Chain A
Amino acid sequence: MSALPLRGTAAAQGVAPAQLLEVANVTMRFGGIVALDGVTFSVAAGRIAGLIGPNGAGKTTLFNCLSRLYRPAHGDIRLNGRSLNDCAPSDIARLGLGRTFQSPTLFDSLSVLDNVKIGGHARGRNGPLTDAFTLPGSRGEEHELERTARAMLAFVELEGAASRPAASLTFAQRKRVELARALATKPSLILLDEPAGGLNHDEVAALGTLIRSIRDQLAITVLLVEHHMGLVMSLSDQVVVLNFGRVIADGTPEAVRGVPAVTEAYLGTRH
């Protein structure tokens, strides 16, 4: 594919780093429309990867394939070497894949803290009987979960909002709570769908710092879909460019910037 010449620029030198996420030949159709057409790329552990492309390029479709909300017609997606093909959406969190949505989807009637606690569901073991009769171990798990949830709220600098109803938050706060909730799943890879969407200049700058510390301090690999070019280019170790469901470039931000197809497809849309 046209993406290949750009491979192996930065981190793939010397010993090839472990590929945390491998997307191989993924095709997704809706009726007669091909939303994803043989998409292939991989993301190494410990990276921030940006997924960009014009509107309708298939970015969110790809995210939905990764989190199994859609089932691709062809292709394979591997996380840590394990294929996700036979997984249900509810298996994904347990396998180490967390996500946020384009418009933040909180559990509005619950408190902020409970929202983040629900992020820990997949790692939890308490069942209905352990809960109903608070059998041995259930309290311990709850305390541990509360500790994690509060730590994640502190990480997104919203520890003071823990007992507020989620419905009472501002848009920017909702995005942060959703991020804390995804982090509480303790993922190895986190998918961020337009995290900067709807944020003002200062909030975007703070978001950049936050995403870097997700990688550097929590050691979580990040794959983000984003329209905010400045943010993607300054944050990403690797940029994958989609257009009409195909990967047209894949490499470092500098390398991708120089590809004519990208300029045409993506930047060329600006008059």
Chain B
Amino acid sequence: MNDGASAIASEKFVADGDARVRIGTWRRFAVVGLIVLAAALPFGLSNYQVFELTQVMIYAIAVLGLNILTGYNGQISLGHGGFFAAGAYTAAVLMHRYGVPYWATLPPAALVGFALGLLFGLPALRFEGPYLALVTLAMAVATPQTLKYFSWTGGNQGLNLAKPAAPPGLGIDRDRWLYLFVFVILLLAIRIAANLLNGRTGRAWMAIRDHPIAAAAMGIDTARYKTLAFGTSTLFTAVAGALSAIVVGFVAPESFSLFLSVSFLVGSAVGGIATIAGGIIGGFFIEFVPNFANDISDAAPWAIYGLAMLLFMYAMPRGVVGSFGPLVAWLRARSGRAAAVSEVSALSTNAKPRQTSQGRLE
């Protein structure tokens, strides 16, 4: 029985491998096309629109970080605004006090984010669901005042930064240069996240989210991987914070209020918590919906914001990408394609993670 079976298995493997190559080529074309389009986009828009889209991409990286933790590992965080602030201030202090070039502040911001996340991840091991939400809430609540307390953070006034100029010889202005700079970091972040989630690490994270006891029985050190998920998540979000400081050219404690943390969670839910592309949708929501709400009603923008949020969650309870994902997965399955991370994401919106996260949000 087994000899025959393994022969079938290897044939099947080869067949799937071929299908992957064929469809992989098409996908590569589509991805390259999208990248070229997105890179060309700023040259047809106003300076302010370019700035807004840059902000969208920064939020997308922050939400992607949160998705790794909440969507793929099942741990909730109401404190990611604090980690975003940590990254922003790392970049700002390095640029302002030590004259470090803007691009060189990203690795230290990543390290600070990772280290802080590990520190938070350890106590988080003892808490779940609403309790973990409260523990992380402490981070969000404490952030602005902590930043005001120290003098090297510029106190209440914050720090003004010189906006970086485009490299000479490229012939593009500062806003478009920063757009492209952030775009490259976003692509890197997506690639790294997809690699992690497609690999041994990501499978371990998802296994813990779905069934921690079975995950441990499979040899997954759940404490280690949950802490690692926290650190990885906050690394992404801190890098986003550093980019924000660079692009805005200014950091102040009040920019990192509790509402920022809530915004990330809203962006994550609207885009789809267990998705990678959902981060981008979340970025658009965070950047544009408050302004849009203001345009509709000067008097009650937050009522409009709340309404928009409700409409999104009612129409697409799994988030935008989470709701379209299953359709894409079905189309792919029809064309005989094997698992890829977006398919897994689509599947992962099935039941359990949504329920738990909704339970935790309530």
A residues with a Cβ closer than 8 A to B are 67, 69, 88-94, 99, 101, 105-111, 113-114, 117-119, 121-122, 124, 126-128, 130-134, 138, 141-142, 145-147, 150-151, 153-155, 157, 159, 162-163, 165, 167, 181, 185, 209, 213, 217-218
For A99, what are the chain B residues with a Cβ–Cβ distance below 8 Å? 217
Give the residue of B8, B9, B222 whose beta carbon is less than 8 angstroms from that of A90: B222
For A113, what are the chain B residues with a Cβ–Cβ distance below 8 Å? 338-339
For A151, what are the chain B residues with a Cβ–Cβ distance below 8 Å? 5-6, 9-10
For B195, what are the chain A residues with a Cβ–Cβ distance below 8 Å? 131-134
For A92, what are the chain B residues with a Cβ–Cβ distance below 8 Å? 217, 219
- Beta-carbon contact of A122 and B201 below 8 Å: no
For B2, what are the chain A residues with a Cβ–Cβ distance below 8 Å? 155, 213, 217-218
Give the residue of A107, A133, A138 whose beta carbon is less than 8 angstroms from that of B207: A107
Dominant secondary structure of chain A at its interface with chain B: helix
For B315, what are the chain A residues with a Cβ–Cβ distance below 8 Å? none
Q: A106-B214, A118-B204, A126-B199 are in contact. List 7 more A-B contacts (CB 8 A).
A: A69-B213, A109-B206, A114-B203, A121-B220, A131-B196, A131-B198, A132-B192
- Beta-carbon contact of A109 and B351 below 8 Å: yes
Return the 4 tightest CB-CB contacts between A and B, nearest first: A122-B219, A93-B219, A131-B199, A154-B9
Task: Give chain B interface residues in 205-248, CB to chain A under 8 Å.
Answer: 206-207, 209-211, 213-222, 228, 232
Chain B residue at smallest Cβ distance from A109 = B348
- Beta-carbon contact of B347 and A111 below 8 Å: yes
Interface residues on B, range: 35 or more
How many angstroms from the CA of A109 to the CA of B326 in the assembled complex?
Answer: 12
13 contacts between A and B (CB under 8 A): A91-B219, A101-B217, A109-B210, A113-B338, A114-B344, A118-B203, A121-B200, A121-B218, A130-B199, A142-B200, A150-B13, A151-B6, A163-B338
- Beta-carbon contact of B199 and A163 below 8 Å: no
Beyond A90-B220, A114-B339, A121-B218, whether A108 also contacts B352 by CB under 8 A is yes
The reply on B12 being an interface residue by CB < 8 A is: yes
- Beta-carbon contact of A121 and B203 below 8 Å: yes
For B216, what are the chain A residues with a Cβ–Cβ distance below 8 Å? 69, 88-90
Chain B residue at smallest Cβ distance from A88 = B221
Give the residue of B8, B13, B196, B204 whose beta carbon is less than 8 angstroms from that of A121: B204
- Beta-carbon contact of A128 and B201 below 8 Å: yes
For B1, what are the chain A residues with a Cβ–Cβ distance below 8 Å? 209, 213, 217
How many angstroms from the CA of A89 to the CA of B216 in the assembled complex?
Answer: 6
Chain B residue at smallest Cβ distance from A216 = B2
